[in-house]
Amino acid sequence: MTKLLNGNQVAMKIRKEISNEIVKKIVNKKQRVPHLGIILVGENHSSRIYVNSKIQECKKIGMQSTLIHLHKNIEEKKILEIINNMNNNPMIDGFIIQLPIEKHLNQEKIISSINPKKDVDGFHPENFGKISLKNTKSFFPATALGIITLLERNNINIHGKHTVIIGRSRIVGLPTSLLMSRKATFGNSTVTIAHSYTKDLSFYTKHADIIIIAVGIPNFLKGKMIKKGVILVDVGINNIHNSKKLLGDIDFDSVNGIASYISPVPGGVGPMTRVMLLKNTLHAALHYRIK
């Protein structure tokens, strides 16, 4: 029987821990609650759903949030001004720009203009670089942190295990590969990164102890591509024909009974990602708040 890596359950526990920490370290000291800023550009349907759920998550644990929703044709200069204001606003502890952003905007330039101490998505080059160092004070991208925390809280040993990560995006695959392979208490995995140029993907997946997949193709990984007992983490969120049904990147039915564990979609990595954003925001409030 394949067991589920239940992200909802783990996220609920972590939410409670964060909530307790807010009370103990902030509210009881008569300080203001952590405040997350969210910049959303345009009307992308999925982005709006993600942003709404982030706002709801803040409410659940007593964090403040502010949404700045901008028109899809906004000029880059104007966004940089808004970011500069948020960087200097002592009432905002951390903020994010919901990705992807409109094509006419230079994503790298915009991300690089965020103050690294408020970059709770962990995408600023300074924070990204620190992932490979043992720097626990920086921000790790929420999905990558969510994935390793999901494994850690399920007592899955990753030391010396062969992890195949399918997908190398800066949001998921790449930072996850760095966290999994770090020389750290929870790390030391031997990582192979696969992508769209990888030849004979099954060769790698059949030799994997752990597979983390983030390609954005529904039911991509099949039972015939894996070995018995493998641990599967499905990051994919594929909205089928804009219906309410979400599919992961793993063909659940065909791996069921072969894999030892699988993170379901929905209810696996998604809730972990959202709660890790809260964790990063709390981190910003505790360590970097502008006095």
Contacting residues toward ligand NDP, per CB under 6 A: 143, 166-169, 171-173, 194-198, 201, 214-217, 235-238, 269-270, 273
Name which of 172 and 250 has its Cβ closer to ligand NDP.
172
Name which of 86 and 211 has its Cβ closer to ligand NDP.
211
Residues 214, 248: Cα–Cα separation, whole Å = 9
- Which residue, 98, 112, 149, is CA-closest to 276? 149
Would you give the end-to-end CA distance of the chain in angstroms? 53
Say whether 98 is catalytic: yes
Name which of 115 and 177 has its Cβ closer to ligand NDP.
177
Say whether 121 is catalytic: yes
Name which of 26 and 150 has its Cβ closer to ligand NDP.
150
Query: Of 117, 118, 119, 121, which one is the catalytic site residue?
Result: 121
Residues 108, 125: Cα–Cα separation, whole Å = 9
Helix, strand, coil share (%) of the chain residues, nearest 5 = 40, 15, 40
Token look-up 């594929």 returns 238
> Least distance from C-beta 12 to ligand NDP, angstroms?
16
> Least distance from C-beta 233 to ligand NDP, angstroms?
10
Residues 253, 212: Cα–Cα separation, whole Å = 17
Q: Kindly list the catalytic residues.
A: 54, 98, 121
